[in-house]
Amino acid sequence: MSVAIRLPTLLRPAASGQSIVNVDGDTIGQVLETLQRTYPAIAGQVLTQEGSLHRFVNVYVNDDDVRYLDKLDTKVAPDDVVSILPAVAGGAR
Amino acid sequence: MSGTPPGVTPSQMAHLTLTKDQLAEMVAHSIACVPEEGCGLLVGDGSGSVISVHPTRNAAASAQIYAVDPTEHLRIDRDAEDSGLMVIGVFHSHTHTDPWPSPTDVRQAPDPSWHYVLVGLRHEVASVRSYRIVDGNILEETMVVTGSYNPT
């Protein structure tokens, strides 16, 4: 099924400037793999080469962080909106 | 504190415009978060001006590192987009060191288009500086603070 993905500013140039793209998949993992295949410049920035979620990226299905759901196995429905945002962190240390 | 931080290039071109109230809000939130680092997001229209400051929870709950609460980040990002705006940067405090980007700050800077504001609480009077961080290079930018002061 096709779901909408909201892209962070940083990834939009890789998707021809689009802020929202529609991608096929039944789980978050499938959706993100398809996203990276469709827009090769995004490869490695959301999923690592090993296929896991990048440590400094947060992915949400509607309001929920997928890390608190079924991670990459989280199922998606046609009306779901997937949001990808960078983790914002740092500190004096 | 004066002078250019080590490893930082001062820029006469890059700037961040904000109001005195927005500056005060970042400092107040940072002080309120002590002993932890305080943090929050800045929303604007991409022109280099802050439209609104959004203090957030430090999910790391640490005096030495910060992590903007992801759920709050999502809400702020969505609300900004609904208003035709965008997240343009982040502020956070250094509770015991100067407001210069640390190696951690540089390594984890999420977006080269963002403004990175640092609130230094090392001294009795808070100090605030703003930076751009692009490909590991730190560029200090001028903070243009608007709004009138009416000392009585």
Whole-model pTM: value is 0.91
B82 burial via Cβ count (<10 Å: 0-12, 13-18, 19+): exposed
Q: Does residue B122 belong to the interface with chain A, where contact is any CB pair within 8 Å?
A: no
With bands split at pLDDT 50, 70 and 90, how would you rate the model's confidence at B5? low
Alpha helix stretches (DSSP H) within chain A? 28-38
* Residue B1 binned pLDDT confidence (cut-offs 50, 70, 90): very low
Instruction: List, in sequence order, the alpha helices (H) in B3-69.
Output: 20-33
Can you identify the CATH homologous superfamily of domain B9-134? Answer: Cytidine Deaminase, domain 2 (3.40.140.10)
> How far off is chain B from A88, nearest CA to CA, in Å?
6
User: For residue A67, is it within any domain?
Assistant: yes
Mean pLDDT for chain A overall: 94
CA-based nearest residue to B119, from B12, B51, B33 = B33
Radius of gyration over every alpha carbon of chain A, rounded to an integer in angstroms: 13
Query: In the predicted model, what is the mean pLDDT of residues B125-136?
Result: 95
Which residues of chain B have a CB within 8 Å of the CB of A92? 37, 64-65, 94-97, 102, 104
Whose CA is closest to A6, among A80, A72, A88? A80
- Count of structural domains within chain A: 1
B residues 8-67 closer than 8 Å to A (CB): 37, 39, 41, 60, 62, 64-67
User: Which CATH number characterizes residue A65's domain?
Assistant: 3.10.20.30
Residue A93 inside a domain? The answer is no
Q: Which of B134, B138, B145, B146 is nearest to B11 (CA)?
A: B138
Confidence of residue A93 (pLDDT cuts 50, 70, 90): confident
Q: Where are the domains of chain B?
A: 9-134
The answer to whether residue A91 is domain-embedded is no
Given a cut of 60, whether residue B2 has pLDDT beyond it is no
**Complex prediction ipTM:** 0.91
CA–CA distance, B135 with B65 (Å, rounded to integer): 21
DSSP state of B66: E
Question: Which pLDDT tens digit goes with each residue over A33-65?
Answer: 999 999 999 998 999 999 999 999 999 999 999
Q: Is the peptide bond before B35 cis (omega within 30 degrees of 0)?
A: yes
Residue A92 lies in a domain: no
Is residue A15 included in any domain, yes or no? yes
